[in-house]
Amino acid sequence: MTARVFLHQWWWPIYTAIYVLLFYPTFLINPGANLSNVLSESYSIRANATLLFLAVGLILEWAEHPKLRFRDARHLLRALRQHPVVVLALLYGLWSLVTAFFALEPIAALLGSFFGSGDGALFALAMVGVFLLVYLQTLRDPALPSRLAWSVVVSGIVMALLALIEIVSRQGVFYPIHVASLPMVTFPQKGHLAGFFVLVAGILLGFLRQRSWIGLSALLVVSTALGTTFNRAALLALGVGVLLLAGKWRQMFVTGLVICLGLSAGWLLVRTLNSEGERQLINNTTAQTRLYMWKAAVRGILERPLTGWGAGQFDTVWPRFLSRDELDKYAQMEWGVKRVRDVFLAPRASPVLLVELADGKVAIQGISVWKAHNQFLDIGLLRGLVGLSFYLALFWYVIRSVSKFPPLAMGLIAYHAFLFLWFAPFHIEGTLWAVLGGACATGSLVGRRADSV
């Protein structure tokens, strides 16, 4: 196999596998660095890696069409009519770019939140680029989705083993964090790590739907690591993934047994170290606080329904979308304070709340990053309802791909079930959009064959 053939076959699977593993050794270089700095540097290293893969990916794509000339652009509209999913992805990326100029702070909307949470329009455009290049290659190489799926599985096994090492050693592999926050590996917290494990588990369930039992041991390892996170949203999403095996009763029974065994082993492992995770699992406070987050998000979307707010913009104004009574209840559940005395909002700055503690003392509570903890509401806040509609429309092609190649589709469906109660951080977006490109291309191929019959 020549180097060129190898790159054509494995360039995007390599990107898909290593994206979530990327990290910047902030605490090794600067032990006093705070989480905001870690997030910013993690964002930069993933953005730079994505630019590198896009550049080489474009060269590889150009090499597939040696006779292509700029004058051939006149055929672009005809080509786009044959691939409406490409139009949807392009519209999502271009709309993200256009709406950034209507944001309160266009620079932040373009480049990403000043507090390191990502979401920039340029980064969204880069993700669309990843989607398009994976999509185009899949049309030529129908085996690419299988390589993408297994690359996610391999990455998931590595992350699962690192997560288990963190639990057993009682310290972070990459970042020195409190034992109650473990595991998180390269993610900013264990909730996001749990979401990645749901994506991996969904892909493995898809292989099992095809009667391929080779991934059963990998499912056990990933389920064990998922159990150590004590994340209820992940458990619900995993249940959705198992339900997608309906009709395949043998696979459903075996996978259900393996998942329960893995989750139980993970829970038991954490309980021997501390009871923090167990308290998180039975605590219903987060479910109540999410209701207030969703209220604020819906009201924010209604104020800017077309263009949205852009990266980091709604973070600075969200308290004004809750009544004082709602804000008091939210603060009581989220931070354990008695009430909110005052709210200070300033341009280009995170909100500052003056809160009264349970003992009557007054303290300052700052919130630098705010998320609705619902991916669809968060996209609505970032890109408006127009951008959200483009994103949701892509999923029709994901659903169509289930009949042809279920692993990628089932992984995406399970992960987005998780995202009803969470959000996708930039730490996973590169992998997510590559998988989405492969699934949508498969769905597009299925649709074209059906139309030709």
Using DSSP's 3-state secondary structure scheme, residue 298 falls into helix
Q: Kindly state the average pLDDT of the residues 72-94.
A: 83
Q: How far apart are CA 118 and CA 306, in angstroms?
A: 21
Predicted pLDDT of residue 172? 84
pLDDT in tens, 371-399: 999 999 999 999 999 999 999 999 999 99
Answer yes or no: are the C-beta atoms of 223 and 237 closer than 8 Å.
no
Residue 360, pLDDT above cutoff 70: yes
Tell me which H or E stretch contains 37: helix 35-63
Residues 6+ apart with CB under 8 A from 138: 144, 145, 437, 438, 441, 442, 445
Q: How sure is the predictor about 35, in pLDDT bands with cuts at 50, 70 and 90?
A: low
Q: Which residues pair with 353 in a beta bridge?
A: 343, 365
3-state percent breakdown (helix, strand, coil) of the chain, nearest 5:
70, 5, 25
Predicted pLDDT of residue 452? 44
Q: How far apart are CA 226 and CA 202, in angstroms?
A: 13
Predicted pLDDT of residue 48? 92
Provide the total of helices (H) and of strands (E) in the chain, helices listed first.
18, 3
Higher-confidence residue: 240 or 44?
A: 240
Residue 445, pLDDT above cutoff 90: no
Q: How far apart are CA 316 and CA 350, in angstroms?
A: 5
Please state, for a pLDDT cut of 90, what percent of the chain lies above it.
59
Answer yes or no: are the C-beta atoms of 328 and 342 closer than 8 Å.
no
Residue 155, pLDDT above cutoff 50: yes
Helix 121-140 and helix 35-63: axis angle, to 10°?
40
pLDDT in tens, 108-125: 899 887 666 679 999 999
Higher-confidence residue: 79 or 376?
A: 376
Residue 450, pLDDT above cutoff 60: no
- Determine whether 428 is exposed, middle or buried from the number of CB atoms within 10 Å of its CB (0-12, 13-18, 19+): buried
| Closest listed residue to residue 218, CA positions, set 136, 151, 309 | 151
Q: Kindly state the average pLDDT of the residues 240-264.
A: 93
Answer yes or no: are the C-beta atoms of 316 and 351 closer than 8 Å.
yes
Residue 296, pLDDT above cutoff 70: yes
Least confident of 6-20, 50-64, 80-94, 439-453: 439-453
User: What's the whole-model pTM score?
Assistant: 0.92
Return mean pLDDT, the chain.
88
Answer yes or no: are the C-beta atoms of 119 and 372 closer than 8 Å.
no
Predicted pLDDT of residue 439? 95
Distances (CA, A) of 426 to 116, 395, 423, 432: 10, 20, 10, 10
Predicted pLDDT of residue 193? 96
pLDDT in tens, 189-232: 899 999 999 999 999 999 998 887 888 999 999 999 999 998 99
Predicted pLDDT of residue 453? 37
Burial readout 225-236 (b: 16 or more C-beta within 10 A, e: otherwise): bbbbbbbbbbbe
Using DSSP's 3-state secondary structure scheme, residue 322 falls into coil
Q: Kindly state the average pLDDT of the residues 280-308.
A: 85
CB count, 10 Å around CB of 162? 19
Among the ranges 110-124, 267-281, 314-328, 343-357, which has the highest mean pLDDT value?
314-328
Edge-to-edge strand ranges of the sheet holding 339-344: 339-344, 352-356, 362-366
Q: How sure is the predictor about 358, in pLDDT bands with cuts at 50, 70 and 90?
A: confident
Please state, for a pLDDT cut of 70, what percent of the chain lies above it.
88
| Closest listed residue to residue 277, CA positions, set 199, 184, 196 | 184
Predicted pLDDT of residue 49? 95
